[in-house]
Amino acid sequence: MEKIQPKDWIPLIKPYTKPSVARSLRQVADTLLPLLASALLLVGCASGPLLVEAEPPVIVAPDLTAAFAEPWKIPHGEWKPVDGVLRMTEIPARKHVPVLQHWVGLKTAVIELDFRQDVPTTFYIGCDADKHVGRVVITPKEVHIAEDSVKPSHILARMPLETVKGQWRHVRVEWTGDRMAVRIDGQELSAQHPFLATPKTRSWIAGGKSAEVRNLVIKGVAQ
């Protein structure tokens, strides 16, 4: 039997030593596609409904370029829409955080928005009857859900958050029946209490001394 010489291997291995665009693309695909699939799965887990089975109809989605009219009300602070961004500022003499109310009672609601604070303080999204019913409170260090049958508000659930300064943060709040939930920065929290089922007359957002809001959308089913 003739002995195989090293030179005889060259034709066999030569195709694998040359650069190959097809092989490189295949290697990239084999490496990146599983990672992309995992990333998309994570994004999917951090989007969509929290409590509602399907997205309710849009009630209002202001373009934030003009002053607010009914059914909006501004009981506290200054709220100025400028080029799609809503700027809220506290009026010190009022001794109350800025509040913007939307006077449509929703038994099922979804409120989504982006907010930003150069100096992180507190940001709120809540619902009322004749008095406060429930609220989501975002502080520099945590987010919590509270019901307002007692004073001070009764905190039902809480989770820690990282302090974020000067960056846009997306938040989604939902309530239906006796439940309320929030998603912020991809983290989710929910709570349940009989008082949260109180029929609502309005929803509201509020901030600390100042904040900016954009992409505000309120969806829901009327009371």
pLDDT in the model for residue 58: 98
Instruction: Tell me the helix, strand and coil percentages in the chain, rounded to 5.
Output: 20, 45, 35
Domains and CATH numbers, the chain: 6-45 (no CATH), 58-222 (2.60.120.560)
Write the pLDDT tens digit of every residue in 174-223: 999 999 999 999 999 999 999 999 999 999 999 988 999 999 999 999 99
Residue that has been written with the tokens 């709040």 in this structure: 173
Write the pLDDT tens digit of every residue in 197-208: 999 999 999 998
User: Which tokens hold the place of 207?
Assistant: 């901030």
Evaluate whether 190 touches 49 at the Cβ level (below 8 Å).
no
Q: Which of 39-48, 111-120, 141-150, 168-177 has the lowest mean pLDDT?
A: 39-48
Query: What is the residue-averaged pLDDT of the chain?
Result: 86
Tell me which DSSP letter residue 42 carries.
Answer: H
Amino acid at 103: W
Write the pLDDT tens digit of every residue in 8-43: 555 554 554 555 555 544 553 454 434 333 333 333
What would the 3-class secondary structure string for 104-171 be?
A: CCEEEEEEEEEEECCCCCCEEEEEECCCEEEEEEECCCEEEEEECCCCCCEEEEEEECCCCCCCCEEE
User: Which tokens hold the place of 149?
Assistant: 């049958």
